Amino acid sequence: MDSARRRALVGLLLIAPVPSLSVTVFAFVAPGPVGQVAWLIGKAILYGLPAAWLLWVDRQPLSWSPPRRGGFGTGALLGVVISAAIWALYLLVGDRWIEADRLREIGRANGFATPLAYLGISAWVIVVNALMEEYVYRWFVFTRCRALVPPLAAVLLSAAVFTSHHTILLAAYGVAAPLVVLASAGVFVGGCVWSWCYHRFDSIWPGYVSHAVVDVAILAIGWQLLFG
């Protein structure tokens, strides 16, 4: 294995387990203050390590990932298609698989049980969290995977890394098993689509547009369940 591939493997192994480990501690091992600290440490590593790696290991300058190849229309269209599928599934099985009362309990426990708080958290999810996930999972994780395996395998592998902590979080919140499986499959498909967007357009921004559109659809369902 040459030095570039070794660096890619080390970077991937350092960052891939972090979100799953921090969510596991937060939700199962030490819920409460210790778990919250573990979650914050995990976020700091998740967001900080890729930039540090770029500067000090790859010795490349920071970049805002300019969308020189475009792709915004493709990203938006893919986001609409995924969102339509999510809403169709919600309308078909949402009443049976989603417990609105349980979601309201989670909302009260986590501070988003009022419309204003929910809108604030929604803005953070769409504007900040979706962008940071594209930066971490599509730029850093996908490009490490692509250095190790062919592009299609890299798309699948990076999507699996992206999906793992979402599955743990869904299980922690007591979501019904069929919905955990279905939602995890949806996250995996989204991860594949957004990794493909990065591979095709060499920028995080088309994938971010798609990701943001999908998050709007999911949060709209959350609003419907919480506030009717």
CA distance 96 to 94: 5
Residue 174: pLDDT band with limits 50, 70, 90: low
Per-residue confidence (pLDDT) for residue 13, from 0 to 100: 97
Q: Which domain holds residue 18?
A: 3-227
Per residue in 3-50, pLDDT tens?
A: 999 999 999 999 999 999 999 998 888 888 898 899 999 999 999 999
pLDDT-above-70 percentage for the chain: 100
pTM over 0.85: yes
- Say how many domains are in the chain: 1
Residue that the structure tokens 């919250």 belong to: 36
Report pLDDT for 219: 97
CA atoms within 13 A on the CB side of 151: 8
Q: What is the pLDDT of residues 75-123, one digit of tens each?
A: 999 999 999 999 999 999 887 778 888 888 888 877 888 999 999 999 9
Per-residue H/E/C for the chain: CCHHHHHHHHHHHHHCCHHHHHHHHHHHHCCCHHHHHHHHHHHHHHHHHHHHHHHHCCCCCCCCCCCCCCCHHHHHHHHHHHHHHHHHHHHHHHHHHCCHHHHHHHHHHHCCCCHHHHHHHHHHHHHHHHHHHHHHHHHHHHHHHHHHCCHHHHHHHHHHHHHHHHHHHHHHCCCCHHHHHHHHHHHHHHHHHHHHHHHHHCCCHHHHHHHHHHHHHHHHHHHHHHHC
Confidence of residue 193 (pLDDT cuts 50, 70, 90): very high
Structure confidence at residue 213 (pLDDT): 98
